[in-house]
A and B are shown apart, each in its own frame.
Chain A
Amino acid sequence: MMDGESRDSLVKILFFAKARELSGLKESRAKLPANISYQSLLDTIIEKFGLESIRDSVILSLNEEYLAANGTLNLSDQDEIAVIPPLSGG
């Protein structure tokens, strides 16, 4: 493919707290478009891993940096995305 727009990246996805419980996974890999908006990234992860119930209460990070909800990302292979719901117990 010559077209950079449709390139995919193979990223690692880490799950914490309730996201870990719901998905049954600590981590996984996913092929995602290299150029992707925050909203479609969130949609894809939520749907793929059954996280609908916590959709509005998680934050996402890319390589250990918080992702702003209005941005567009440029993903590379080996990038690490974390799905972080708040923990409230103690």
Chain B
Amino acid sequence: MNEEELIREIVALRKTLREKKDTLRRLQRDKHVVQECGLTNEEIGRYSRQILVPEIGVKGQLKLKKSSVLIVGAGGLGCPAALYLVGAGIGHIGIIDYDEVEINNLHRQLLHSEESIRVSKVVSATAALTRLNSSVNITPYKMQLDSSNALGIVKQYDVILDATDNVATRYLLNDACVLTGKPLVSGSALKFEGQLTVYNYRGPCYRCVFPTPPPPETVTNCGDGGVLGAAVGTIGVLQALEAMKIILEMSGVLAGRLLLFDGTETLFRNVKLRPKNQNCLICGDNSTIDKLIDYEEFCRAKANDKNPGLKLLKESERLSVKEYHKFADSSATSHVLIDVRSHEEFEICKLPNSINVPFTQISKPNGHALVEQVIRSMRNGDTRIDVIVICRRGNDSQKAVKILKGLINDEAVNIRDVIGGIHAWAKNVDPTFPIY
């Protein structure tokens, strides 16, 4: 039997198994005994360890069963949050994500497995959650949440979890929650750090606290800055906890307070936030926003954390990887290749003879001086010097060229960048090069 036949057979067997399990579950459910307290024997057994907690009890368990939670983002926050909510027996969970599973997700997005690579995240998440607790009704939404669809979905749920990865969707979700009167459990994380609070619930909304979106060039996402699974997971689990406390109508909900988590020292700080801002554009007394706006325009950034595909330079200021390959091989002219990725990325892989000056350093005196020193050392009379800048995907390299051109006023120095960076190099020149 060859590989393809075997894969086909496994897929068919899995499908048969799933169908038989569903049939079995239906048969068993029909036999369920419902006790006077309102729970079935199966529910009593399954949730007994949390029903025993005084804050929950039978009443609390029934509240959880009748409630619904919308999780926006099936990533590093959404996966752990969903696991605990489904485990606890929330009646209905909605999960939104437009994206597919990639191998670089698996270290933190633990609902997905190697088998789900290239599969839609919401499909993969639904399958994993159903395996954990088949009695929870799960609605997957494979879509990008935007101004046209957000209100219609948000209003169907009791509590909303912001488990997204970008600024534009955070403002969109905030406004949608204010307009529909839903509590928003907002989590975020990067590297070893995390933040958590509950907006629009007996306190301020996101805009009350952060009325102005950060300039896009100051926003670091997980794809660039990196993130630890256990750090982002900590925040995701706490989001599930806050959602349950809201459903259980408990008094200690993290509203009007911002939790700052620093995983490097395992410190949790609680900062008391401002009360609701009477002048808030969306939740204030005289709010001027009464419907969802264009959040990508408001934040000047795309509503995802993918490659922004910047175009800052003219064609003549750029080289394709193939052009650079030829150019470097036949390098009669003296040239210098400056790699502006972080030290950590440079350590993963690098092109021969490249010099690492991280983008964050390039405009600072030290980094700038290093580049000038390299150029000076190559200078031989009036010979022309080519400075080529490379990064991961060809965005930072363009910004770096702009900065260097402003700093180095020398006719003989020709500064250009490599289109698509080392990603393009891996794709079009050297297939043995890693992609991350």
Contacts and interface: CB of A to CB of B under 8 A. Distances in A.
Interface residues of B, number: 45
B125 interface: no
Overall SS of chain B's interface: mixed
Nearest to B277: A68
Interface in A43-67: 53-54, 56-57, 59, 61, 64-66
A21 interface: yes
Interface residues of A, number: 24
Interface in A64-89: 64-66, 68, 82, 84-89
A42 B221 CA distance: 26
Given A16-B193, A54-B218, A90 B209 contact: no
B60 interface: no
Nearest to B215: A53
Overall SS of chain A's interface: mixed
A30 interface: no
A88 B272 contact: no
Given A59-B209, A59-B210, A90 B215 contact: no
A25 interface: no
A66 to B, nearest CB: 5
B238 to A, nearest CB: 13
B273 A86 contact: no
Contacts of A57: 210, 212-215, 218
A89 B271 contact: no
B220 interface: yes
B274 A88 contact: no
B164 interface: yes
Given A57-B214, A87-B188, 15 more contacts: A21-B225, A22-B218, A61-B272, A64-B272, A68-B274, A82-B260, A82-B269, A82-B271, A86-B214, A87-B193, A87-B194, A88-B166, A90-B75, A90-B165, A90-B222
24 contacts: A16-B260, A18-B218, A18-B219, A20-B193, A21-B225, A21-B360, A54-B218, A57-B214, A57-B218, A59-B209, A64-B269, A64-B271, A66-B209, A86-B170, A88-B164, A88-B165, A88-B188, A89-B165, A89-B220, A90-B75, A90-B78, A90-B164, A90-B165, A90-B222
> What 10 A-B pairs come out closest when comparing CB atoms?
A57-B214, A87-B188, A90-B77, A89-B190, A89-B222, A65-B272, A61-B271, A66-B274, A56-B212, A88-B167
